[in-house]
Amino acid sequence: MPVANATSRFSDRVENYVRYRPGYPSEALRFLQQECGLAPEHRVADIASGTGIWTRMLLENGNSVFGVEPNAGMRQAGERLLASFPNFHSVAGTAEATTLLDQSVDFVTAAQAAHWFDRQQSRQEFVRILKPAGGLALLWNERVTDSTPFLRDYEQLLLTYGTDYAEVRHERTTDAVNEFFDPAPFQARVFELRQEFDYAGIEGRLLSSSYAPGPEHPQYEPMLRELRRIFDAHAIAGRAAFDYKTRVYFGRLR
C-alpha cells in the first residue's frame, strides 16, 4: 500500500535530491528503445517526475514528455532544470489522477516512484491515458547493501536511524511490481550503476532520502556522527561508493 505522506515527504530535501541522487544507466533507455519500441516521436507521461532526473533522459531522446509531479517543490525544481527543453510539459497531478487526456500518450514511465502509488488506482489511470498499444515502464535504482564494508555499515546506519526505512526500502516494494501489469506479461532487465563521493556527497546523498531524520530530529546529529565514522573507516583516497542494481520493468497493459 502507498505511504500516507508520499506526496510531501521530499519537500524539505529538494536541493539534496537534485545534487546527489543517482541518474540512470544509458542501457536502461537503450532497452526501452531497442526492445520496447520507444521512439523519439512518442509522447511520454513521466509519473512522479520529481526534479526530472529520468525525464531529462527522455527529453534528450527527443520525446515530448509530460512530467506529472504532485510535490510543488520538486515540480518547480524540475521546471527550472528542464527549462531549456521545449518538449517538456510540467503537470500538477498524481499517479492516480494525472489530469491528462484519455489515450493521449504512447508510454507511461515512473522512475524511483511506483512504490508510492496506489497500485490499483494508478494502473486504471495509466490504462486510461495510454493509447491502445501503449506501454508502461517502471524503473528503480536499488542500492546494493552488502557488497563492501562501507555499504554494510551504511545499511546498518539506516536501520538504526532511519525513520521508516524498513517499511519503504525498494527491495521490498519491487516484489509487488507484477500488480501494475497483471494480467499482462512484462519484461524485466537489470543494469549496474555506481556513484562515488567525498564526505560531503555521502552526507548529501543520505539527507536526500525521505527516511533520513531532518535537522530538527533528535537522531539527526547522532546519525551524522555515525556517518562520519563509517566514512573515515572505509573511504579510499577520500572517497566512498554506492553501487546500484537498476531494475527496469516493461509491459503493455492492454
Give tens-digit pLDDT for 143-168. Answer: 999 999 999 999 999 999 998 887 76
Is the residue at 232 inside a domain? Answer: no
28-60 per-position pLDDT tens digit: 999 999 999 999 999 999 999 999 999 999 999
**Domain at 80, CATH number:** 3.40.50.150
Query: What is the C-alpha to C-alpha distance for residues 230 and 211, in angstroms, rounded to an integer?
Result: 19
How far apart are the C-alpha atoms of 44 and 36, rounded to whole Å? 13
The pTM of this model reads 0.88
For residue 96, list its beta bridge partners: none
* The pLDDT of residue 14 is above 80: no
pLDDT at position 183: 87
Question: Does some domain include residue 151?
Answer: no
Distance separating alpha carbons of residues 6 and 50, to the nearest angstrom: 12
Helix (H) and strand (E) counts in the chain: 11, 7
- 3-state SS, residue 106: strand
- The pairing of beta strand 64-68 with beta strand 130-143: unpaired
* DSSP letter (8 states) at residue 40: T
How confident is the model at residue 22, as a pLDDT? 92
Percent with pLDDT over 70 in the chain: 91
C-alpha pair distances (Å), 28 with each of 25, 175, 186, 242, 251? 6, 19, 15, 18, 14
- Does 220 fall in a domain? no
Inside any domain, residue 58: yes
At 171 the pLDDT is: 52
Residue 222 lies in a domain: no
Q: What CA–CA distances, in Å, run from 128 to 45, 63, 148?
A: 12, 20, 44
Is residue 180 in some structural domain? yes
Domain-embedded: residue 3:
no
Q: In the prediction, which pLDDT does 71 show?
A: 93
The answer to whether 136 touches 19, Cβ cutoff 8 Å, is no
Distances (CA, A) of 198 to 111, 149, 238: 26, 16, 6
Residue 184 lies in a domain: yes
Q: How many domains are contained in the chain?
A: 1
Burial group, residue 254, by CB count within 10 angstroms (0-12, 13-18, 19+): exposed
Q: Of 3, 5, 21, 12, which Cα lies nearest the Cα of 246? A: 21
What pLDDT is recorded for position 7? 46
Range of the domain at 118: 11-144+168-196+244-252
